[in-house]
Amino acid sequence: MSEINNNEGEKKIILFPGDSFPFDRKLLSYQIFSFNKSKKGEEEKQTLSSMKSVLFYPERAQKLAKDQKSQLIPSIYYGNFYSPKEGDIIIGIISQKSYETYRVNILSSREANLNSIDFQGATRKSKPNLNAGDVIYAKVEKVNKYTNATLTCKGSNNSKDWASGESTYGPLKEGKVYEFNRYLCLKLLENNEFVKRLKECVQGLNLKIGFNGRIWIKTDKIELIPKVFEAIKNGLNLSYDDREILFNNLFNK
């Protein structure tokens, strides 16, 4: 189970098969098709049984449960999936591991597969040891409508070894993951001038952008990470002058 923030700052829990969370009868009619209910002592739990991961918004469910006018409590989100295409650069979250394969949540209707040695310079003895919840930067290598997409963390021949921490693709250590509008992610990828200016304002900024609607941010000062995301969220569509005002207000105080 992984915890991230969406672009509105709302806490979001990603649940994977086998995960459990406190059971709420108000949500039963919307969750019974993908969860099994069990009792552990006095506390009822629900355990995800579907092979698909889901996104659970605890704050939103709690807020809507208090609203007597609400007819639905959308605590689980299935829509607006990312459709992987070969060559796409994505940010994934490991959901399951085996000796040879990782299952990866890529915000698609299906999880993707990643071979455990498909990292730059990796061998069976020197491959990374990732666990559920770890974040990776990868490329979509193969897409088949009947099976899960296949990812790779291998770059060009001159890419540095994954263990150096300087490879094109591979594990993303520390930092923070945000979910963002996929189309704005693509716009950000094309706006080199915006990213360059952002890096001038924030020392040691390391920014990874996924076609699947995730952004990973790491800085020398961890307290600046939320400000970087705010700058991206609110500044991407601003004029040059308005953007400079926003950046000054965020980073020069």
User: Which residues fall within 8 angstroms of residue 145, CB to CB, at 6 or more apart?
Assistant: none
Q: Which CATH architecture has domain 177-251?
A: 2-Layer Sandwich (3.30)
Q: Which helix (H) or strand (E) holds 179?
A: strand 176-179
How many helical (H) and strand (E) elements, i.e. helices and strands, does the chain have? 6, 16
Residues 198, 208 contacting (CB under 8 angstroms): no
- Residue 165's pLDDT is 81
Q: Report the distance separating Cα 104 and Cα 148, nearest Å.
A: 10
Residues 172, 216 contacting (CB under 8 angstroms): yes
- Residue 253's pLDDT is 64
Q: For the domain with range 89-172, which CATH number is right: 3.40.50.300, 2.60.40.1480, 3.40.718.10, 2.40.50.140?
A: 2.40.50.140
To the nearest 10 degrees (0 to 180), the angle between helices 225-235 and 240-251 is 160
Prediction pTM value: 0.68
The position carrying tokens 């094309």 is 190
- Residue 119's pLDDT is 93
- Residue 25's pLDDT is 41
- Residue 80's pLDDT is 56
How many whole angstroms from its chain centre is CA 241? 31
List the chain domain ranges. 2-77, 89-172, 177-251
Q: Report the distance separating Cα 46 and Cα 60, nearest Å.
A: 18
- Residue 214's pLDDT is 93
Q: Which parts of the chain register pLDDT below 70?
A: 1-80, 157-158, 253
For residue 103 the two structure tokens come to 């299952």
Q: Is 105 helix (H, G, I), strand (E, B) or coil?
A: strand
